C-alpha cells in the first residue's frame, strides 16, 4: 500500500474508534438512567406500625436495621433487648442485659 492509502486507512480507523467510543458512552448513559429510574421509583420497605413490649416496661431506645426493629427497655429494674420483625412487628427474640458479666477474651 502506498503511504497515502495507509494515511487514509489510519484516519478511517481513528474516526471509527472515536464514533464507537461515543456510541458506547451513549449506551452507558441510557443504562444508568434506566437503573436510576427503577431504583428511585422502588417502594420503600414496609415497616410495622407498632411493636408490643411488656406492660410496665420503660422504653430506653429503639432502632431499625437489617430487617429487625431493636427495642431496648427496662422492666422491673432489668434491662432487656427485644428484637421484632420489621414487617409484622412480631417478637423474634429477647435478650437480658446484665451488668457485671465477665469480659469476653
Are residue 75 and residue 60 in the same domain, yes or no? yes
What does the pLDDT read at residue 1? 82
Range of the domain at 14: 1-42
The predicted model gives 32-38 an average pLDDT of: 90
Burial 71-82 (b: 16+ CB within 10 A, else e): bbbebeeeebeb
Q: Are residues 75 and 96 in the same domain?
A: yes
C-alpha cell at 68: 429487625
The pLDDT of residue 102: 67
What is the number of structural domains in the chain? 2
Query: Are the beta carbons of 64 and 47 closer than 8 angstroms?
Result: yes
pTM of structure: 0.54
Share of the chain above pLDDT 70, in %: 93
Based on the domain organization, do 36 and 66 belong to the same domain?
no
For residues 24-37, give the mean pLDDT.
94
- Does residue 88 or residue 26 have the better pLDDT? 26
Amino acid at each position: 500500500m502506498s503511504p497515502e492509502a495507509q494515511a487514509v486507512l489510519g484516519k478511517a480507523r481513528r474516526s471509527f474508534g472515536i464514533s464507537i467510543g461515543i456510541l458506547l458512552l451513549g449506551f452507558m448513559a441510557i443504562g444508568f438512567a434506566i437503573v436510576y429510574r427503577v431504583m428511585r421509583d422502588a417502594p420503600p420497605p414496609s415497616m410495622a406500625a407498632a411493636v408490643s413490649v411488656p406492660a410496665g416496661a420503660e422504653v430506653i431506645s429503639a432502632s431499625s436495621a437489617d430487617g429487625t426493629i431493636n427495642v431496648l427497655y427496662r422492666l422491673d429494674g432489668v434491662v432487656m433487648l427485644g428484637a421484632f420483625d420489621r414487617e409484622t412487628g412480631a417478637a423474634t427474640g429477647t435478650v437480658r442485659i446484665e451488668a457485671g458479666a465477665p469480659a469476653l477474651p
